[in-house]
Chains A and B, each alone.
Chain A
Amino acid sequence: AQSVTQLDSHVSVSEGTPVLLRCNYSSSYSPSLFWYVQHPNKGLQLLLKYTSAATLVKGINGFEAEFKKSETSFHLTKPSAHMSDAAEYFCVDGGSNYKLTFGKGTLLTVNP
């Protein structure tokens, strides 16, 4: 069964500094991986997805993620955090059987 592990439940950064949110996946086949963001009292918005076409995936709002098969990782990064990035981020395995498997989430706090 596929699963994803988000290694940090909470990450705090200062505005203007880099962001790193870590995700490891466990899948017996080539995975489909996504990062979603959820702002307070809002639904989930897709940031980016890995489609096997390229290992470095660029998403919206300056986020990107790198798929590393040797490390079974799909970490999310952004060079410079903005106050509006404060939200909860979910690493998701698209898997199969028409369902998404979510990680536990990482709450990103951005300090002024």
Chain B
Amino acid sequence: KAGVTQTPRYLIKTRGQQVTLSCSPISGHRSVSWYQQTPGQGLQFLFEYFSETQRNKGNFPGRFSGRQFSNSRSEMNVSTLELGDSALYLCASSFAAGGLWETQYFGPGTRLLVL
């Protein structure tokens, strides 16, 4: 099976622009989660989607949004980019039965640099 894929892998934007990142989960997985990784804050949860519904959202401003399509692919959008949004954005997928011990599988990430 193919793993979680994320596109693009690298992105350079300037302040004030917006950006859309894409994530394709492992075939059969219906849950997609997004995480932001920075040197200062570590790995922080952004949001999780299942069957096109957001089930949980982290503590991020409204500039960060996401959606999930009927084929389980997901996109996240960041509007009005700030320098502090420079980070590695990781996507993870799982079957999403919701069990405590369910494994999430991570993609390679999209590295965003905001200038």
Contacts and interface: CB of A to CB of B under 8 A. Distances in A.
B25 to A, nearest CB: 13
Contacts, number: 59
A5 B71 CA distance: 37
A52 B31 CA distance: 23
Q: How would you classify the secondary structure of chain B's contact residues: helix, strand, loop or mixed? A: strand
B33 A98 contact: yes
B33 A99 contact: yes
Interface residues of A, number: 26
Given A43-B106, A43-B108, A98 B100 contact: no
Determine which residue in B31, B50, B100 has the highest number of CB atoms from chain A within 10 A of its CB, and name it: B100
Closest 3 CB pairs of A and B: A32-B100, A102-B43, A44-B106
Interface of B: 4, 31, 33, 35, 42-45, 48, 50, 55-56, 58, 90, 92, 96, 98, 100-109
29 contacts: A34-B103, A36-B106, A42-B108, A43-B4, A43-B90, A43-B108, A50-B101, A51-B101, A94-B101, A95-B100, A97-B55, A98-B48, A98-B50, A98-B56, A98-B96, A98-B98, A99-B33, A99-B45, A99-B48, A99-B56, A100-B35, A101-B45, A102-B35, A102-B42, A102-B44, A103-B42, A104-B42, A105-B42, A105-B43
